[in-house]
Structure 1
Amino acid sequence: MGETPLTTAPSSPEPEASNENTTPIPAATVKLEQRAVDEPRRIKVIVIGAGISGILAGIRLPQRVPNLELVIYDKNPEVGGTWWENRYPGVACDIPSHSYQASFEPNTRWSRFYASGAEIEEYWKSVARKYGVYQYVQLSRQIVEARFDEERGKWLVKVQRLDTPEKEIFQDECDVLYSCIGSLNQWKWPDIKGLHDFKGKIVHSANWDSSLDYEDKNVAVIGIGSSAIQIVPEMQKKVKMMDHYARGKTWIAMPFVSEWAEAKNPDGKDFYFTEADIQRFQDDPEYFYQYRRELEHELNSAHTVTMRGSDLQKGAISFFTENMKTRLAKKPEIFASLLPPFPPACRRLTPGPGYLEAIVQDNVNFIPQEISHITSDAIVTEDGKVRPVDIIVCATGFDTTWTKRYPLIGRGGKDIGEKWKDFPETYISIATDEFPNYFINLGPNSGVGTGSLTIVLERAVDYVCQALQKIQRENIKTMEAKASSVQTFQRYCEAYFPGTVFTENCRSWYKNGKADGKVAILWPGSCLHAERVLSNPRWEDWQYEYLNESPHGWLGNGWTMADVKPAADRAYYLERSKVDVPPEGGAPITMI
């Protein structure tokens, strides 16, 4: 049956003598890499952040990237990211619970249509436990600096231990740095004169003091974003009096996927699943699967509402207006103050269960005036009115510039803060030029205005897994988005967004708190558009450097792992699952 296969790769043979008149090729240019063509080289990845993206990375990278060393650093003492950090009263998901979970780990036991923050946190912790993520996580570790070493093709990462009295700093290094921090990570105080002269209790929604006792107190809530819209109805039930400072205007949406929600909850408030609902989900997997598919289908069908002049956009204006007017009938002056001049979805749409009902209660003062300043015991508006208060709650958002977290130094000493000081430009949200071997989840232009965010996060992780496999397989030292690819994506964004409501005249965190300017947060397209783009990498949009300056190093030494492993299957291509049998008579061409 022929010669016995070799079990180890031989050394490179000397070329045989030849009488042909050829020009000798210098030996240095033909030196073979002593590795099989499909042998993945050892690679180390540092993931920053153990929120949803970091948890997904901790599942998929070990699953799909062989010969991997992985560490996940997080500054918090527990995984969960924003769902560990945000503990304010009423914190909850603002899309349906069953659409805010991993595609591979469905949860039949959500208690509410819009799950509470604590329930979401526990779900993602359970996912991390089930799939072994904790073995890679180092908690209470804050990144102090990350600097790229061009000569070695490594990231040098300084990390501070937050759980020791000395808070000492140590250095780690990796081949690839993967940022899974997200955009809502660094909260900020509002820029109000005298804010820190206040002698009562002051708290930010993203840094909540769980010991805060606000029952029967006079409380001020500053802000009109999604956090404030959740905080107000929860605190209103217990406070003596609430002053709600809402200088902006906003649309309060009906519950997303309203047809199913309305059948369960016709008054528009949040609702709980009954034990009978949950039991049916568990006992009838096909029913649950179809329910989840229909829910996600409807959620992903709302993208047209973001397009200027669309029928769905016009219908939303009429529907939301009438709904808000009806629910604010007790205090019609609030409706006049709250109704926006801009279209729905220009700012983030929030369903806000119970919010409109809360702000018309007798113990709530809705205050649309600008705040002038804050004294030791009161808030003063620009009309000169002084309102004493015991507690101030700042639901005033985050720094979304991506430039003030820690020094991130790329090629040629380029600091990301300097590079992105005017606008954070990326290639399809996951990388930027001058920062080799650096990937981002939930970076600039990655969020979705409508649809499922979690599937986009999953696809971004899938993309990075493929990039890591390419780096291993092709003997790549550095992989970097081309500057031209970054510019092409930015020009595409500039062409896309003017046709949407996101560039209308509304102050939005999509535009870093500005009323105009470029959209920095959102993906330029539907969530399904993002899912498709991230599912199909264009490797030609990247530039590469190779180990040992050997562009042919990816070919290895002429052997495969099947050749050199004694027990390997050397007819693997005939395995039934790998043989693609075409239909008899030929396949019909699919017409779209």
Structure 2
Amino acid sequence: MSDQKNREYHLKGNTNATYQENFKKHPLLNKPIHTERPMKIICAGAGLSGLLLAYKLQRSFEQFELTVYEKNEDVTGTWFENRYPGCSCDIPAHIYTYTFEPKHDWSRTFAGSEEIYGYYKGFAETYGLHKYIRLNHRVSGAYWNEDKGTWRVEVTAVTTGNTFQDSCDLFVNATGVLNDWKWPEISGLRNFKGALMHTAHWDTDVDLTNKSVGIIGNGSSGLQVLPAVHDQAGKIIAFLRSSTWVIPTQGVEQRNYTEEEILKFKNNPEALLNYRKKLETRRSSLFPLFHNDTEEHKIVTQKLTQMMKEKLNNPDIEYWLIPKWGFGCRRFTPGINYMETLGSEKVHVVHGGITQITEQGCIAENGQEYLLDVLICATGFNTSYAPRFPVVGENGKNLAEDWKTEAKGYFGVAAADIPNYFTLLGPNSPVNNGPLIAALEAQVAYILKLMNRWQTEHIHSVSPKTEAVEDFIAYKDNFMTKMVWTQNCRSWYKNSSVSGKVTALWPGSSLHYIEALVEPRYEDWNIKYKGNRFVFLGNGYSQTESDDTADWAYYVRNSDDSPFIGRSKWRKMITKSGTLPGGSRLPQDCIIS
């Protein structure tokens, strides 16, 4: 919208004289520059993203009201929901924390879900975040009101099913992408008379002792649950529809930390910091492996192929499990003890899909029926990135419908024509490009910078320009042509398709993403004002002059310690460029060592 149309829109037919009279009476003209107005925010989801948003708002802002609606009975999102046997993170625990909030006493390298849940729940309690959170409440719709410049948010109480309306100035969708778990689309699923479970909805009352257990799927959860239930089950039928790269260690051994190591990390924060930095650097060093046809990629593919063959020691399983597509096309997982367990006498591997589920078991593509007492579906999530509820913006645009085929977001944080709406870990975020949590923190910081302008500059609304989003998508699509993610493998990076567009991943490394989000490109945003855009200048006085306890000469100092303005010097300063030896990071060593 042009500046003139913007002004005309907000004048609503008023005469110029009326406009000038209203302008002269504006309350901000009697207050100092950048006077903060009350800011009401609603966030959907109290997982890692929602908790981080609440913490950062609390740390950096005043004059705000925040409500976080969480559908579960407790916080932490996926780590509250996923409690299946063997469930753990595929990122070393010491770097699966907020970068500013280390934990010295992780029990092992790749922590289990209960320990991760405990960390993030403890974070919420430490910083008093529960005062913002309403548990057992699900956002079921969000509708933008252009005249008021506010969101009407529909909320459903999970325990009663009753709905009510709330409103806010700014709405944040932090529901994530791996939260809407799905059953396999196989005929007869509900006819099964045995115990039926999904890994994301585990029934702890089901006893697997000496039972015949079927497991569908060999993604991350399938690779973890098979070794975990092996000793308890009497027999396991592993249905493998597709191949997958199984990474035994990711260059980091799965082991328990010793008491001496934990005590060292507790008493020597610098030693813990150095260890975390080492793990984080290894994670960043992986990115070159995701480029097609590079020497590094060929070396890792050859090494992994040989390693999988040695561990499987079964030509038939090797043929079906080892991919023909390149390493990294799908998300890899440590797969600890998975290949060894496949070779167990207890485990029978069935190749190909399942054509039908019966009352007693599964009929495979080979025509044979396998009788089961328990059927475990490790079949993943709905990964379309379309919101799970209506998000209706300008001109009735419903993002839930618009993104069903292809999610076209802006830098993972927003959507065109959806004002004052932000996403955390939205489409094309760096969810497997390198370090994740640091990138999430960059997203929150970026969004809060926009919120800060909204609060202090009398802005009506902000949203990315359509042309900016289209340009970004064009750049992203062109970049992806040289990446392994576009190879013909079925992946949630491509909305569970084989050859669709890569909608999940950022076109670059995680460090590339962090630098791209250091400051908003305001020229990419539609910024609408409530009347005269300069009323925020106020009465000609600064905020400092209204504070008798402040230093009114804060800028006078003995030396120039100001941050560098030039991007190159700024980057070298914050990254301590020149302090480490170069040329020592071999990406293939971060997978196999």
Fold conserved between structures, TM > 0.5: yes
Match of 1:560, as an amino acid? S
Q: Is the 8 A contact 1:562 1:568 kept in 2?
A: yes
Q: CA deviation at 1:449?
A: 2.3
- Does 2:206 correspond to 1:195? no
SS for the counterpart of 1:349 is coil
- Is 1:507 matched up with 2:490? yes
- Alignment partners' CA distance in 1, 2:352 and 2:41: 50
Match status 1:209 vs 2:209:
no
- Shift in Å, 1:569: 3.7
In the alignment, what sits opposite 2:102? 106
1:570 to 544, 549, 552: 552
Pairs within 5 Å for 1:423-502: 423-502=406-485
The secondary structure found in structure 1 opposite 2:154 is strand
Offset of 1:236 from its aligned partner?
1.1
Q: Distance in 1 between matches of 2:365 and 2:171?
A: 48
| Deviation (angstroms), 1:589 | 13
The structure-2 alpha-carbon separation of the partners of 1:322 and 1:275, relative to structure 1 and needing over 3 Å to count, comes to same
TM-score with structure 2 setting the length: 0.89
Q: Which secondary structure does the structure 1 equivalent of 2:151 belong to?
A: strand
1:300-449 equivalent positions in 2, closer than 5 A: 300-329=284-313, 331-403=314-386, 405-449=388-432
1:10 aligns with none
Q: Is the 8 A contact 2:150 2:170 kept in 1?
A: yes
1:89-110 CA-to-partner distances (Å, cap 9, x unmatched) read: 1000001111100111111111
Number of aligned residue pairs: give it.
Answer: 552
Q: Could you tell me which residue of structure 1 aligns to residue 243 of structure 2?
A: 249
- The verdict on how the C-alpha distance between 1:30 and 1:561 changes in structure 2, with shifts beyond 3 A counting, is same
Question: What per-residue deviation string (whole Å, max 9, x for no partner) do you get for residues 152-178 of structure 1?
Answer: 000111111223xx4321111100001
* d(CA) in 2 for partners of 1:279, 1:399: 42
Structure 2 residue ranges without an equivalent (≥5): 1-16, 578-593
Q: How far, CA to CA, are the matches of 2:394 and 2:179 in structure 1?
A: 25
Query: 1:571, CA displacement in angstroms?
Result: 2.6
Question: 1:380, 1:26 → 2: CA distance?
Answer: 74
Residues in 1 aligned to 2:60 and 2:445: alpha-carbon distance in whole angstroms = 9
CA contact (8 A) 2:410 2:472 kept: yes
Q: How does 1:536-547 map to 2 (within 5 A)?
A: 536-547=519-530
Write the letter of the residue equivalent to 2:357. Answer: I
Query: What residue number does 1:18 align with?
Result: none
Deviations 1:48-79 (A, max 9, x none): 11000011011001111221111111001100
Secondary structure of the corresponding residue to residue 271 of structure 2: helix
Other-structure match for 2:256: 272
Among residues 116, 140, 144, which one is paired with 1:120 in the alignment? 116
Kept after mapping to 2: 8 A contact 1:36/1:556: yes
State whether residues 387 and 399 of structure 2, in contact with CA within 8 Å, keep that contact through their aligned partners in structure 1: no
Whether 1:27 and 2:23 are equivalent positions in the alignment is: no
CA separation in 2, counterparts of 1:580 and 1:441? 31
Kindly report the root-mean-square deviation, in angstroms, between the aligned alpha carbons of the 2 structures: 2.2
**Contact 1:306/1:449 (<8 A) preserved:** no
Larger mean CA deviation between 446-455 and 176-185 belongs to: 446-455
220-229 vs 166-175, greater mean Cα deviation: 166-175
- The superposition leaves residues 21-68 of structure 1 with CA deviations (integer Å, 9 ceiling, x where unpaired) of xxx998348535333212111111111110000110110011112211
Q: How does 1:93-242 map to 2 (within 5 A)?
A: 93-163=89-159, 166-242=160-236
Contact 1:39–1:560 (8 Å) recurs in 2: no
Q: CA deviation at 1:286?
A: 2.1
Matched residue type, 1:199:
K
Deviates more, 1:527-536 or 1:357-366: 527-536
1:369 shift after superposition: 2.1
Q: Which amino acid aligns with 2:187?
A: K
Structure 2 Cα separation of the partners of residues 318 and 226 of structure 1: 22
Cα 1:233/1:576, change in 2 over 3 Å: farther
Shift of 1:404: 5.6
Change in Cα spacing, 1:578 to 1:416, as seen in structure 2 (3 Å) is farther
- Residue of structure 2 aligned with 1:296, choices 280, 286, 301: 280
Assess if the C-alpha contact under 8 Å between 1:199 and 1:377 holds in 2. yes
Q: How many percent of aligned residue pairs carry the same amino acid? A: 36
Change (3 A) 1:26 1:151: closer
* 1:452 CA drift (Å): 1.1
TM superposition shift of 1:279 = 1.6
Distance 2:570 2:498 in 1: 52
Cα distance in structure 1, aligned partners of 2:326 and 2:32 = 59
Note the C-alpha offset of 1:284. Answer: 2.3
Task: Give yes or no for contact 1:345–1:449 (8 Å, CA) kept in 2.
Answer: no
TM-aligned CA distance change 1:77 to 1:581, over 3 Å: closer
Shift of 1:434: 1.0
Residue matched to 1:557: 539
Distance 1:414 1:279 in 2: 55
Mapped to 2, the partners of 1:590 and 1:343 lie a distance apart of: 35
* Corresponding letter in the other structure for 2:467: S
Query: What SS is found at the alignment partner of 1:242?
Result: strand
Bigger CA radius of gyration: 1
The answer to whether the Cα contact below 8 Å between 2:145 and 2:152 also exists between their aligned partners in 1 is yes
What is the CA-CA distance between 1:580 and the residue it aligns to?
3.6
| CA pair 578-186 structure 1, distance change in 2 beyond 3 A | farther
Equivalence for 2:61: 65
Alpha-carbon distance in structure 2 between the residues aligned to 1:404 and 1:564: 44
Cα separation, 2, equivalents of 1:255 and 1:576 = 52
Distance 1:86 1:581, change over 3 A: closer
Counterpart code for 1:314: K
Cα 1:561/1:232, change in 2 over 3 Å: same
Letter in 2 for 1:194: G
Equivalent residues of 2:242, 2:352 under 8 A apart: no
Residue of structure 1 equivalent to 2:50: 54
Give the one of 33, 36, 39 matched to 1:40. Answer: 36
The TM-score normalised by the length of structure 1 is 0.90
Say which SS state the counterpart of residue 155 (structure 1) adopts: strand
Please report how far the alpha carbon of residue 546 of structure 1 lies from its aligned counterpart in structure 2 after TM superposition.
1.0
Which residue identity is paired with 2:289? V
Deviates more, 1:24-33 or 1:552-561: 24-33
